[in-house]
Amino acid sequence: MFARKLAQITGLPLTHMDELFWTGNWQEVPEVEYLAKHQEIIAQDKWIIEGYVEENMADRLARADQIIYLDYPGALCALRLIQRWVTHRKKARPELPKEALEDLKYHTFYKVLRRKERIRIEKALLAAGSPDTIRIKSPIELKKFLKNYKLT
């Protein structure tokens, strides 16, 4: 939601990483293919990319003018994962193929709750040369950020 709002306010084109990663009913796009699309996007002058990053996409972080990292507690992310499942288990999110209905899997829930996906994100930040990153730790901090930058 934050990325959509930011794109709406700034007029910058928005790409969700899930658009690049998935096709059909959660079928993975081959890595070579989604990385090529990723390169096309970051070759442009202006963009917003929302979603997961790992070491093989660190060039995005190095090239970005601004990185905003929603580094929320695991419990909050797990709760939002459940909310997303409730909302989108019968109708896919707008950025996904219509067949990609949310499925709540234990291993994904555990990974989010324990913040295990953060390891790859932190490695990507290091691989990008530790670029300046705005780390937002809570929805309250996000509201303050939006207000300070007159993005509300």
Q: What is the DSSP letter of 55?
A: G
Confidence of residue 152 (pLDDT cuts 50, 70, 90): low
The answer, yes or no, to whether residue 149 has pLDDT greater than 90, is no
Question: Which structure tokens are listed for 143?
Answer: 């509201």
For the chain, give me the number of helices (H) and strands (E)? Answer: 8, 6
Q: Give the Cα separation of 67 and 125 in Å (integer).
A: 10
| Rounded (5°) CA angle 142-128-94 | 50
Alpha-carbon dihedral 101, 138, 6, 126, rounded to 10 degrees: -90
Amino acid at 139: P
Q: CB–CB of 50/58 below 8 Å? A: no
Amino acid at 2: F
Task: Return the pLDDT at 151.
Answer: 67
Global confidence as pTM: 0.90
Is residue 73 helix, strand or coil?
coil
The answer, yes or no, to whether residue 29 has pLDDT greater than 90, is yes
Task: Return the pLDDT at 79.
Answer: 98
What ranges do the domains of the chain cover?
Answer: 2-148
The answer, yes or no, to whether residue 59 has pLDDT greater than 90, is yes
The answer, yes or no, to whether residue 11 has pLDDT greater than 90, is yes
- Taking only the tens place, the pLDDT of each residue in 64-121 is 999 999 999 999 999 999 999 999 999 999 999 999 999 999 999 999 999 999 999 9
Report the candidate in 71, 85, 77, 144 with the shortest Cα–Cα distance to residue 110. 77
Architecture field, domain 2-148: 3-Layer(aba) Sandwich (3.40)
